[in-house]
């Protein structure tokens, strides 16, 4: 069983109410829990809190910025910004929502699954048209004579992975190889 803060505070409170000293409480906690026991400073602080009349064992509400800005509300707001303007930048999102760059990156890449491609945010997963184009290219490449004869080392130059780099593929114009999925996941 894991010793939670609330559990350790309850034990400290019990020792306080039983009339034990802080030193006795520390010794009991260390003998019972070893390395998992609360620190001496924590025990001294909670004894002082209980002497002031505190009986609530949970943390007091804290003011200030929340620990994380990756909330559903912010994820939805970023999604809306991208849908309104696919060319929106990190700085524009930061200025609009007042959240940090690292949190924006988590929202964009992990929560929404989009990446910046051709200065636009697009869904990271492939749509059917993109999948078909890749299959067609692979079939054409495998049909080439030098691949079948085993005389070409070009197969070792093919890189597969997350980025779009295709061996021996030369688009006629810049937009001919741009695809966009219409729906964000």
For residue range 94-111, what is the model confidence (pLDDT) as tens digits? 899 888 888 888 888 888
pLDDT value of residue 60: 83
26 pLDDT more than 70: yes
Mean pLDDT of 130-136: 86
Which pLDDT does position 176 carry in this prediction? 43
SS (H, E, C) 150-174: CCCCHHHHCCCCCCCCCCCCCCCCH
Residue 143's alpha-carbon distances to 120, 137, 149, 151, in angstroms, are: 34, 10, 11, 14
Q: How large a percentage of the chain has pLDDT more than 70?
A: 71
Give 49-97 pLDDT, tens digit per residue: 999 998 888 888 877 766 677 889 999 999 999 888 888 888 899 899 8
Q: Tell me, what's the pLDDT at 50?
A: 92
Could you tell me the CA-to-CA distances from 40 to 15, 23, 25 in Å, in that order? 14, 9, 9
Q: Give the tokens for residue 115.
A: 């990446």
Looking at residue 131, its pLDDT comes to 84
Q: Which stretch of 28-32, 42-46, 51-55, 66-70 has the lowest confidence by average pLDDT?
A: 66-70
Q: What is the pLDDT of residue 31?
A: 93
């Amino acid at each position: 069983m894991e010793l939670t803060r609330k559990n350790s505070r309850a034990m400290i409170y019990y020792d306080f109410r039983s009339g034990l000293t802080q030193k006795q409480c520390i010794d009991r906690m260390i003998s019972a829990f070893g390395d998992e026991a609360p620190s001496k400073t924590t025990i001294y602080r909670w004894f002082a809190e209980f002497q002031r009349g505190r009986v609530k064992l949970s943390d007091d509400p804290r003011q200030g910025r929340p620990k994380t800005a990756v909330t559903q509300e912010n994820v939805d707001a970023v999604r809306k910004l991208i849908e309104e303007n696919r060319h929106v930048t990190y700085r524009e999102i930061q200025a609009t929502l007042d959240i940090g760059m690292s949190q924006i990156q988590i929202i964009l890449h992990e929560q929404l699954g989009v990446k910046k491609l051709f200065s636009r945010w697009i869904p990271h997963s492939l749509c059917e048209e993109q999948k078909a184009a890749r299959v067609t290219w692979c079939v054409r490449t495998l049909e080439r004579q030098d691949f079948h004869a085993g005389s070409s080392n070009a197969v070792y130059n093919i890189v597969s992975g997350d980025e779009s780099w295709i061996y021996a593929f030369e688009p006629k114009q810049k937009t001919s190889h741009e695809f966009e999925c219409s729906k964000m996941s």
